[in-house]
Amino acid sequence: MTIRSFFDSTSRPLGGRWRPFFLASLVLAGCAGSAPGSRSFDLQAHRGGRGLAPENTLAAFSQAAALGVDTLELDIGLSADGAVVVSHDTRLNPDHTRDAQGQWLPAQGAPIRSLTVAQLQAYDVGRLNPATAYGRQFATQQPRDGERIPTLAQLFARMQAQGATRVRFNIETKIDPTRPDETAAPEPMVRALLAEIERAGVGPRVTVQSFDWRTLALVGRLAPQLPRAYLTSARTLRDSRWTAGLAAADFASTPRLVKAAAAGGPGPVIWSPAFADLTPEALREAHALGLAVLPWTVNQRADMARLLDWGVDGLITDYPDVLRSVMAERGLPLPAGVPAR
Ligand code: G3P
Ligand code: CA
């Protein structure tokens, strides 16, 4: 069984409390060595596909589901009134945020956690600020004026209303352990996230990902059946505050570090490295350890093609249209799109 067919086989709503999915051994055996060529490949739209539509907005997620992706990648924080909101940034971001008068924020704004949902949704995040370097980075992004920072509940409801009932959610808790005052602490954020997932009945379609591995330890304890994705970058691997106290130097390799961090839980375990840090050797080792490997954020055709050749289990990209075309060139099956209603 591949990791994707595991996901598919559990995509029915469970209702009420989650039930354990399958034996870890079955899942992990399935992850090992999965290769492109089957529908096991996981095409993920990063922030909903910010190369095409404003990041982390309902417009982007809806467009990605219509285009046809397996998974919507997104980031979350907690608002002042305790709602799970979809935002990459811990503060309002002047690169794509305008106030109620239509003025770009001149600098970083208030922390997300200091504002209620109503206050957050007074801002328009449907267009890039052309005066900033970040704003000039995504020339093909089509603005959608009027888009707001959505709540996670609104995203789940939108996908349900669209009929995108098979699309998966790869949800990243945005917590920086080196700046604990900037966000909610791991436990309140994880508990709020799990409650939202349960309310929407989407548990079988969710992966929780984080650079802050304390989050993933909590998920392993509170919802052990959920897939967990261990994000890594050169920066986070240098500082054990990100890796829940484990020192990377004590391990022979990053896959071994991830394997040790994830020990114990029955849910699938994914390693999500920055794509430029991945080598074929590390990929082979991760697969041998039973880890699925999903690199981020891969936007160039040549990189997509190379990583597909290596046999990664999926790719996270800002350009799901480009990845679909690379997959099509290779005769790989593509996820079906679900048009917005
Ligand atoms: O899925 C991982 C990727 O999203 C991490 O990067 O900064 O875009 O959240 P970032
Ligand atoms: Ca992310």
The alpha carbon of 34 and the centre of ligand 2 are apart by a number of angstroms equal to 24
Burial of 228 (0-12, 13-18, 19+ CB in 10 A): buried
172 lines ligand 1 (CB under 6 A): yes
The closest residue, in CA terms, to atom 7 on ligand 1 is: 88
pLDDT at residue 284, as a whole number: 98
73 lines ligand 1 (CB under 6 A): yes
pLDDT at 25 exceeding the cut of 50 = no
Query: Predicted confidence band at 264 (pLDDT cuts at 50, 70, 90)?
Result: confident
pLDDT at residue 265, as a whole number: 79
pLDDT at 34 exceeding the cut of 50 = no
pLDDT at residue 39, as a whole number: 55
pLDDT at 231 exceeding the cut of 80 = yes
Closest atom of ligand 1 to 229 CA is 1
At position 169, the amino acid (one-letter code) is: F
Closest atom of ligand 1 to 209 CA is 1
Please choose from 70, 231, 242, 271 the residue to mutate so as to test ligand 1's pocket, defined by most ligand atoms within 8 A of CB: 231
Provide mean pLDDT across the span 135-160.
97
pLDDT in tens, 214-228: 999 999 999 999 999
Domains of the chain: 23-329 (3.20.20.190)
169 lines ligand 1 (CB under 6 A): no
318 lines ligand 1 (CB under 6 A): no
44 lines ligand 1 (CB under 6 A): no
86 lines ligand 1 (CB under 6 A): no
pLDDT at residue 40, as a whole number: 86
